[in-house]
Structure 1
Amino acid sequence: LPKLLHFAFGDEPSYLGDSTTVQCSVSSGDLPVKFSWYLNRKPVTEVNGISVGSFGKKTSVLNIDSLVEYHAGNYTCLAENRAGHTSYSTKLIVKVPPRITPFQFENNPLHSGQYAQVTCLASEGDLPLNIEWKLNGQSLETFPEVTVAKTGKRSSILTIESVSYTNAGNYSCEATNKAGQSIHIAQLQVNVAPRITPFTFEDNPVHAGHFAQIHCNVADGDLPLVIEWKLNGQSLENFSGVSITKIGKRSSILTVESVDYTNAGNYSCEVSNKAGKFVHVAELQVNVPPRITPFAFEDNPLHAGQFAQVNCIVAEGDLPFTIKWKLNGQSLDNFPEISIAKVGKRSSILTIESVSYTNAGNYTCEVSNRAGKTIHIAELHVNVPPRITPFEFEDNPLHAGQFAQINCIVTEGDLPLAIEWKLNGQSLGDFPEISVAKIGKRSSALSIESVSYTNAGNYSCEAKNHGGVSVHVAQLQVNVAPRVTPFSFEDNPLQSDDYATVQCTVPQGDFPLNISWLFNGQPVTSQLKILVTTVGRRSSSLTIESVRYNHAGNYTCRGENKAGHAEYTAALMVN
């Protein structure tokens, strides 16, 4: 038998990108000697980046120019000659530094008060990992509104529920381990919208001829600012006796020297900059019938789950008022998700924290007093995202060759819908045996006429529309029948008393596996002086220490599991 010298990759672990070499040498044993290398019981010829060469007749050299993660493991050198084979194994440890998957905030600057979140994922790198966040190079301890949550061993989520200008800057995620460090930086830009310090006229109605004045002061907001006054939603150009005085860059004073009934109503100070707009309204009462300041929901339809709010302001009219809301002419009693809040004596705010398609329609604000009644209607449009009816494959795993089909039905959601199938997150373009058929506007059927082990995995149906996206996943399990690797005895007939051995390997097939041997179609028995040895879960060796003429014949290795069986036969010739 060949005798191998012990070998190793070195005392210290190797790092990603390093090169390494190890040689396997035979100190004694008959020539010729055949060398085979294995990584974790897998031939190294099937592993990228590993090369094997010979150095003389008794040495085999394994070389890796640039180490990657999958090069780590147990390397086995197998030396074989006519007398048999021996092997020796050693372990290669590869240290992998962290690598952060790139992330970023929104492409456009956020407005003050918006929500912001980024996830730092160390997709590569040895554990344990330490993940630390910084803002402009400083610790986040002085920013209590910024929260960091560790999710698993490789991920950290940074969240700001309501951004402000103090949160703008460069957010760095730093991941470190024993092998190294990785840093990724994302910039958060924040536009600060205006905010007006609240103001009011006198609490009581103003009498004709009296003086009135209000001060609109913009406490927050990026410059430049545009400040505009309106009365009942109209420009003040048509109202004589009303003067506007700008004071600095953030303040404006509205003055009415001598009020009359035409001056009664809601005075709005509207401040805008590139980040947004803020409106504050103050009511000047001069005892008139009700008049509602026009209001509306967003111009574009809302998505399900979004926030909606409108404010019904009574710009004119004597107190007291009765303000009622209706949806499509019906009372709001049947809509508990819709809340109404009275703000002062002339305003009522309707709020929907999370809209759904049932909230779409015409909202009416009805205001009445002793002098009369008025209404204003605003229409709310709601986009409905898709909802997929759950589906599954068969409860039990399928056998290779069976038929499989699932149907993805989108029971809810605005049209048009885009329905896409994926297998394990990948497009089905690489699986020509999988067919997809669109059935109407809301359904798609996926069929596999004859399943194989390559079709096993998670099938996701993704439905999209302008309202959102919905995904449902179903797992297909496939039983895989065994496959026996071909083997053979010596090419030339053996002589009496020679040693003979073959190894049967079943590289493919579900567990549990049963591997058995037949001699000329009959089970091998100990009476024939044939030794059968199980090698791991997928291999069995057959050995004849001293060949006799009655050992000549056909030896069959049979692999069997619940999905099927496979066999291979090799002939042993004896002179």
Structure 2
Amino acid sequence: IAPQLVYRFIEQTMQTGPSVSLKCSAAGNPTPQISWLLDGFPLPQNDRLLIGQYVTVYGDVISHVNISSVKSEDGGEYECIASSRAGEASHSARLNIYGLPYVRPMSTVSAVAGKQFHIKCPVAGYPIESIVWEKDGVRLPTNMRQRVANGSLFIDTVQRAADQGTYTCTARNKHNFTSQRSVEVRVLVPPKITPFSFARDLNVGHRTSVQCVVVTGDLPLTFTWLKDNVPIETIRTSQDTPSSGHSRVQASAGAGDPIKGPKRGPKVDLGQAEQSPRKAITVRQYDAFTSALSISTIAPAHNGTYTCRVANGAATVAHSALLHVNGKRTPLVYLFVHALALTAEVIHASFFRSFSCFPLPLFPPRFFDRLPRIDLDVFACIDTSRDR
């Protein structure tokens, strides 16, 4: 259940001196955590400000901000945010303390290229007549991507060349008293992956490789490969996938020996029928912006969707490609069995577990020209472990 705020503090306007308490209460499952911001920045740390939080017997979480002996610089827009893995909810309201304008210090902030950027001037004091934003001494806005509203600066479709730099906000009251601070805005460029895909004509036993190349984006980059949304590192290279070898059953009688009938069972030569292919997936990073996934021997188990996920300080992006393995059609394997008592089910259960076998009682006469026509069963077997 996503967090819900069941109690919210209200806007207040007061003189300096007394104490004040701001409270938020939230419910949800799992129990949310509540954090606080002041004008979009973490709350300042001082001896007069105390944050408390506890959970009631009903499972609600209650958090409060207590400020003793309030000063004008304690004013601003306070925000409580209730968050859990199920979601988040937030509420904000102003605390107005009479006094001269005061702009709090701002740490360096980051904007993401191509996204919208928003920053609030962290001004205290009341009342405030105007708030002005500047960049390099020029009052904003200077283009259609910029706007200033209620003391906040908004920039649409951020560009590194145009928007990175130092910004200054200045607060003024009606008596022309002012306060100003500057902030460094750093523009981060998210990764952009060149689309890749697997060839369509890949068969069992072939090799393949794809490269995940990031053409733009700030370094360092973190690469993660996934198969069907599971990280490649967790895919086991177990050898439990059947493969088809050219298995055969030979007659137990040597050349010229008499056929003894059904009491003499077949001699089995499985060859490599039980050997399984290795899921040979290899991931290599060639440089700071290129990672490759290779499969040295394709098997049916390699069917699936492969995703390259790339992250940096700006964003996490991904590109996926489908690998479809075309099954290698195995020709019929004809079994000549010197045992009339054998059936297709017996052959399957005993010798060819990955084959489907069925009797072929009728063949053209020339098919048996060089074989005895007495006491002989003929079975056709097809490897059913491969896709077709």
User: Which residue does the alignment assign to 1:456?
Assistant: 303
Q: Distance in 1 between matches of 2:143 and 2:156?
A: 16
The answer as to whether partners of 2:109 and 2:185 remain within 8 angstroms in 1 is no
Amino acid at match of 1:268: G
State yes or no: 1:340 paired with 2:153: no
* Bigger relative CO (Cα 8 Å, ≥ 6 apart): 2
What letter corresponds to residue 70 of structure 2 in structure 1?
W
What is the TM-score when the length of structure 1 is the normalising length? 0.38
Q: Going by fraction, where is strand more abundant, 1 or 2?
A: 1
Matches within 5 A, 1:383-422: 383-394=188-199, 396-422=200-226
Relative distance call for 1:361 and 1:449 in structure 2 (3 A) is same
What does the per-residue CA deviation read over 1:176-218, in whole Å, with 9 as the maximum and x for residues that have no partner?
Answer: xxxxxxxxxx3323649699xxxxxxxxxxxxxxxxxxxxxxx
Distance verdict in 2 for CA 1:462–1:507, change over 3 Å: farther
1:278, distance to aligned residue in structure 2 (A): 7.0
**What is the deviation of 1:280?**
2.7
Cα distance in 1 for residues equivalent to 2:223 and 2:165: 28
Confirm or deny: 8 A CA contact 2:75 2:123 kept in the other structure. Answer: no
Asked whether 1:189 is paired with 2:28, we answer no
Partner of residue 268, structure 1: 75
Specify whether residues 491 and 111 from structure 1 end up closer, same or farther in structure 2 by C-alpha distance, changes over 3 A only.
farther
Q: Write the mapping of 1:436-455 to structure 2, written as runs, cut at 5 A.
A: 436-455=283-302
Distance 1:349 1:485, change over 3 A: same
Contact 2:71 2:97 in 1 (8 A): no
Give CA-to-partner distance per residue, 1:330-389, whole Å, 9 cap, x none: 6534352x43114xxxxx332458978675432233679998998642223455443322
1:505-520 to 2 correspondence within 5 Å? Answer: none
C-alpha distance in 2 between matches for 1:422 and 1:270: 43
The code of the aligned residue for 1:349 comes to: S
Confirm or deny: 8 A CA contact 1:295 1:310 kept in the other structure.
Answer: no
Deviation at 1:450, TM superposition (A): 3.5
Partner of 1:308: 118
Measure the CA separation in 2 of the matches of 1:458 and 1:318. Answer: 57
Task: Check 1:362–1:483 CA distance in 2 against 1; reply closer, same or farther (3 A cut).
Answer: same
Native 8 Å contact 1:481 1:560 kept in 2: no
Alignment partner, residue 67 of structure 2: 226
RMSD: 5.6
| Greater radius of gyration (CA) | 1
Contact 1:194 1:222 in 2 (8 A): no
What is the CA–CA distance in structure 1 between the aligned matches of 2:2 and 2:357, rounded to whole Å?
53
Query: CA 1:384 to 1:293, structure 2 compared with 1: closer, same or farther past 3 Å?
Result: farther
Residue in 2 that maps onto 1:530: none
Indicate the residue corresponding to 1:168 in structure 2.
Answer: 27
Answer yes or no: is the 8 Å Cα contact 1:308–1:354 preserved in 2: no
Residue 17 of structure 2: aligned partner = none
What is the CA–CA distance in structure 1 between the aligned matches of 2:37 and 2:282, rounded to whole Å?
Answer: 55
1:64 is aligned to none
Q: Is the 8 A contact 1:405 1:447 kept in 2?
A: yes
Residue deviations 1:122-155, cap 9 Å, x none? Answer: xxxxxxxxxxxxxxxxxxxxxxxxxxxxxxxxxx
Query: 1:488 touches 1:502 (CA, 8 Å); kept in 2?
Result: no
Consecutive unaligned residues in structure 1, runs of 5 or more: 1-103, 114-163, 170-185, 196-220, 234-266, 286-291, 343-347, 510-537, 566-575
Paired residue for 1:378?
Answer: 183
Equivalent residues of 1:438, 1:445 under 8 A apart? yes
Contact 1:295–1:378 (Cα < 8 Å) also in 2: no
**Which whole-Å CA distance do the structure 1 matches of 2:80 and 2:381 have between them?**
79
- Alignment of 1:542 with 2:346, yes or no, is no
Residue matched to 1:293: 102
Which residues of 2 match residues 319-338 of structure 1 at below 5 A? 324-328=132-136, 331-334=140-143, 336=145, 338=146
Distance 1:451 1:414 in 2: 35
How far apart are residue 437 of structure 1 and its match? Answer: 2.0
**Amino acid of the structure 1 residue aligned with 2:118:** A
Please say if residues 344 and 379 of structure 2, whose CA atoms lie closer than 8 Å, have aligned partners that are also in contact: no
Structure 2: which 5+ runs fail to align? 9-23, 39-61, 83-90, 238-278
Residues in 2 aligned to 1:329 and 1:491: alpha-carbon distance in whole angstroms: 99
Seq. identity, %: 21
**Aligned match of 1:361 in 165, 185, 204?**
165
Give the counterpart letter for 2:102 in structure 1. Answer: T
Which amino acid is 1:188 matched to?
A: T
Q: Decide whether the 8 Å contact of 1:296 with 1:310 is kept in 2.
A: no
Deviation (angstroms), 1:560: 10
Whole-angstrom distance in 1 between the partners of 2:122 and 2:36: 23
Q: Determine if the alignment matches structure 1 residue 427 to structure 2 residue 236.
A: no
User: Corresponding residue for 1:47?
Assistant: none
CA distance in 2, matches of 1:274, 1:556: 72
SS of corresponding position for 1:454 = helix
Equivalence for 1:83? none
What TM-score comes out, normalization by structure 2 length? 0.52
Task: Measure, in 2, the Cα distance between the counterparts of 1:299 and 1:479.
Answer: 54
